[in-house]
Amino acid sequence: MMTAVLFSACRLAPKEDVSETIIGKKPLEVKDGRLNAEVLHLMGQVGGVTVSPDGKTVLYSVSYADIALNKRNTELFSMRVDGSDKKQITHTPGSESNAQYIKEGTRIAFLYQGQLWEMNPDGTARAQISRSDKAIEGFRFSPDGKKVLFVSQVKAFESSAERYEDLDKSSGRIIDDLMYKHWDEWVESIPHPFVADFDGFELSNVTDLLEGEPFESPMKPMGGIEQLAWSPDSKSIAYTCRKKTGKAYAQSTNSDIYLYNTGSKRTGNLTEGMLGYDINPQFSSDGRYIAWLSMKRDGYESDKVRLFVLDLTTTVKKYITEYFDYNVDDFCWDKQGSDLFFVSNVLGTNQLYRVNALDAVARTENHIVRLTEGDHDYTSVAVADGCLIGLRRSLSSPPEVYAVSLADGAQTNLSQENTDILNQMTMGRVEARWIKTTTREDMLTWVVYPPDFDPEKQYPAILYCQGGPQSTVSQFWSTRWNLQMMAAHGYIVVAPNRHGVPGFGQAWNEQISGDYGGQNMRDYLSAIDALSKEPFVDENRLGCTGASYGGFSVYWLAGNHNKRFKAFFSHAGIMNLEAQYLETEEMWFVDWDLGGPYWERYNSTAQKSYANSPHLFVGKWDTPIMVSHGELDYRILASQGMMAFNAAQLRNIPSRMLIFPDENHWISQPQNGILFQREFFRWFDHWLKKENKIED
């Protein structure tokens, strides 16, 4: 039997003070032309794209890592919309973020060390605008430049030390209601939107839009400044808010779009009676219309994401994408305020689309025009001079800033941040396969081949199980689940879009709710069985991996795979569904997906869910399994991973556990990310690259 090993974080950074070290781009040499963990983390991570008011210049950020220092730093860049005149405009040891053009494009505002700053477009003449005792987390200048909307935290609860003055060193949290934690934090403060006057040099006369209200705006844990917007006349602010607390908050997704008048300070609800998520408002250029993203049903966080438009003059709402059976992920208005551009995942790739928002016949599917083609994902969209600007990525390339011509649809990589590195590497071929499920439906499965693939040879294969659960296996790029890096290590990677992911119609997406351990597991087996029949796949060397719901899938398959696999690796997975119901924080999720609490014995959906809990199949485990988890994961507690590891140990299953005391549901620190990759491949290489390695 293999000895279990407990790992913690990587080696510490140097003891000397590195707080003033500037971390930037370094020349990289890829030794063998293959992607590896170090190169993956040292690639520049492009984001934060915005376009100047005249549409001629693009501002974006790039995050760089220093592995030895175990730190990241973000710098700002600008360029013309044709990719020319590219320059880095910040060079600091801290990170600049949330950059945007102000004063008709003559200055750039940004966040640095929690405060608001501005500078010239070339990075000179930096000046601090705000001097708040609280960090600013996002901001928007009013169109007239006279006010600033920003987000800061306000105190949520009285601490134990405040309640008992003689216990000023006490750390206990006194909790009286639900929703006391989010994915990776205890709720001690909540974000509020503030508006302040701006005289061109500093902020004054600050007003809390939710003064005295115990509600979040933007909404934790994922919401940001995109959930708030200025009207073009600078007189109103639209903001997203779920005006609930405690148990009601934990059980509901019913957020609304509110309109706040900066003069009267009165607030109205624009989406009253709409029961699901309503988020991310944007005004048309003339201010008559407001568009936003909406879900229909309360409590269902993976409901169809719909695009709505409200005529503020007539109060008529229009469901723009009613006949479009896919989600809208991001959107923007055109400069005329009549068309909307949006991002949507359709059949496994994220493309850009255009729709007329004002035409009465625009509700028919034929009036939604697809603007891009190709195996890639766009993750954002903005309007520029004669083109659209968006972040684009693929399974073979990290995100870059792309321009999409409105004249002919041509797509141009403007940022070219990682081109020099990618040119040194050979990526594996990515193939889209359509595999029949047991329901006789076609399922898109991405297959990634090793860079030097030889069809005359046999290769080990890894089945990749997606998390979410309702999250498409699209053309994503990740520093943790990077399918090209798995292929670069000599594996054929099989990544199915099983039932329960968006991008293939709402019926396909919704099938998984109340059916954990059901059809989607049969889909996984259909995919790996189809590839195992290929002569270049060694059916005796199959592995299986995934995180979150993908980690649940690994645990479930470990007890139900009928000896197909020779090794498993699960990160942040659910092992015990009954425990998960009472351990997680967003109760709407488990109520909808599992059908309700396990104690409702006459609830057939719930009982079916809990009967498929992976811990009930441990008696059939017979295959080596490795477990990884972060102790700051409050969504799926680390105890779930420990249960799985302990079960394997007690059953004498070869097993290993990798625990990160300082990571959450994800793995964000560079050295921890590299440690994860090294142990991931050490595990699979041991069990899949040598024959007859199952040890008694």
Give me the numbers of helices (H) and strands (E) for the chain, helices first please: 13, 38
Name the 3-class secondary structure at 615.
helix
Interatomic CA distance for residues 336 and 317, integer angstroms: 20
Compute the chain's Rg from CA coordinates: 25
Q: Does the annotation count 591 as an active-site position?
A: no
Closest CA to 470 of 438, 498, 433, 437: 498
In single-letter form, the type of residue at position 531 comes to L
- 499 as an active site residue: the answer is no
Residue 670, H or E segment: helix 670-688
CA angle at 271 for the pair 268 and 274, rounded to the nearest 5°: 145
CA distance 19 to 598: 50
Task: Say if residue 248 is exposed, middle or buried (CB neighbours under 10 Å; 0-12, 13-18, 19+).
Answer: middle
The full 3-state SS of 399-428, as one line of letters, equals: EEEEEEECCCCCEEECCCCCHHHHCCCCCC
Q: Are 297 and 303 in contact (CB under 8 A)?
A: yes
Quick one: which of 447, 320, 332 has its CA closest to 389? Answer: 332
1 within 8 A of 57, measured Cβ to Cβ: no
Within 8 A by CB and 6+ apart from 14, the residues are: 68, 69
Under 8 Å between Cβ of 240 and 280 = yes
User: From the candidates 591, 609, 633, 655, which is the catalytic residue?
Assistant: 633
CA torsion angle 608 610 616 617 (round to 10): 50
What whole-number distance in Å separates Cα of residue 146 and Cα of residue 203? 10
633 among known catalytic residues:
yes
Catalytic residue among 95, 236, 302, 548: 548
List the catalytic residues. 548, 633, 665
